[in-house]
Amino acid sequence: MNLSFQKHYKIILSITLFGLVMACNRPPDLPVEPTIGFNKVEFKEIVEVIGSAGVEIRTGQLSLSFNISDGDGDIGIDGGDTGPDFDFVTYPNGEIVKFGERPEDPPFTCVDYIREAGEGDNGLDLNGNGNATDTLRIQLNEDRFNFFIDFFVKKNGTYQELDFRRIPESANGITLCGEIPFDSRIPCLSNEDDPCSAISKNAGPIEGVIKYDMKSGLFLPIFRTDTIKVVFQIQDRALHRSNVVESPDFTLQSAGVDQP
Ligand SMILES: [Ca+2]
Ligand SMILES: [Ca+2]
C-alpha cells in the first residue's frame, strides 16, 4: 500500500548558479547597482518514497531563472554573515526593551518579540541582566536577505498577493516562527574557498544567470491551475537594490517540465 501526502510545512531552498562569468577583461562599464531580468520559470513535482512502508512525499519545485549583472560583482551573503548590515534581528532604536515595559509596544507576536529562553538549550541572556527568562522587543532586519520575492494569484482578473511570510512554522519554539518567506541569501558568487572575502577583494563586473529553486508542498494545493506571477528583486553587499522584475503570467501547468 502506498501512502501519499503533501509536505505542508517544510520549505527548502537551493540555488544553482550557472553561466556566471567573472568578466575580468571587460571594461567596467556596468553600474555598481545590480541589474536583473526575467529568464524563465519552471515547475516540477518531486515524489520521494520513504521507508519500507513506501510513504510518498510530494513536493513542488518552482525554479526561477533570472539574468544578473553587476559592475563590481559584490553579490552574495554567506549563511554565517553577521554584523549591523546582515544580522537577522535588531532592536528598535538600538534599545533592548522587555515585553510590556512600554505601553506603546505591540501585543506579543513571535515576529515582534524574541524569547531568551528559546535561544538554545538554556537560553541566551541577550540583555545581560543575569537571567535568560526575558521577552524582548525586536525588529527583523530586512537586509538579512539579498533576494526578495512576492507571489501573486489572479482572482477574477485581479492579482492578489499570497504572502508566504504569514504562514506559521510548527510550534517548536523557533523564534522566527512567522517568517517562512522565499526571500533568501544568494551565496557569494565565487568559487574561491572564502567566496565572500574573495569578491570583496576582487571587485569586477559579473554577468550571468541565477537559477533559484523553491520547494514546497504548498504550491500545488494553493495555486492549482490558477494564473500566477512572481515579482522579485536582489540587493548587493553594499545594500544597493536592483530593479524590480515581474514575471509573465504563468500556471504551474504551463511552467511544467518532465511531467508524465
Ligand atoms: Ca554592486
Ligand atoms: Ca535576560
What's the gap in Å between 175 CA and the centre of ligand 2? Answer: 15
Residue with cell 511570510: 165
- The rounded Å distance from CA 105 to ligand 2 centre is 19
Tell me how far the alpha carbon of residue 172 lies from the centroid of ligand 2, in angstroms. 21
Contact status, residue 65 vs residue 211, Cβ threshold 8 Å: yes
Instruction: Quote the ligand 2 centre to 165 CA distance (angstroms).
Output: 28
Please state, in angstroms and rounded to a whole number, the distance separating the CA atoms of residues 3 and 156: 36
- What is the DSSP secondary structure assignment for residue 168, as one 8-state letter? P
Ligand nearest to the CA of 189: 1
Question: For the chain, what is the radius of gyration of the CA atoms?
Answer: 21
* Contact between residue 58 and residue 5 where contact means Cβ atoms under 8 Å apart: yes
Ligand with smallest separation from the Cα of 31:
1
Expressed in angstroms and rounded, the spacing between residue 115 Cα and the centre of ligand 2 is: 9
Ligand 2 center–CA 76 separation, angstroms: 33
Name residues whose C-beta falls within 8 Å of residue 223's C-beta, 6 or more positions apart in sequence.
153, 251, 252
- Eight-class DSSP state of 131: -
Q: What is the pLDDT of residue 7?
A: 39
Model pLDDT, residue 223: 92
pTM of the model: 0.80
CA atoms lying within 13 Å on the CB side of residue 155:
8
Would you give the distance in Å from CA 197 to the centre of its chain? 22
Q: What is the pLDDT of residue 18?
A: 59
Measured distance CA(130)–CA(157) in Å, rounded: 57
Confidence at residue 1, expressed as pLDDT on a 0 to 100 scale: 34
Q: What is the residue type of 241?
A: R
Residue with cell 546582515: 86
Please give the pLDDT value at position 244. Answer: 98
Consecutive 10-residue averages of pLDDT for the chain (260 residues): 38 58 61 96 91 85 92 89 84 89 85 79 84 89 90 94 61 45 84 87 87 86 94 96 98 83
Determine the distance separating the centroid of ligand 1 and the alpha carbon of 238, expressed in angstroms: 7
DSSP for 13-81, written as a single string: EEEEEEEEEE-TTS-S-S-SS-EEEEEEEEEEEEEEEETTTTEEEEEEEEEEEEEEEESS------TT-
135 Cα: distance to centroid of ligand 2 (angstroms): 8
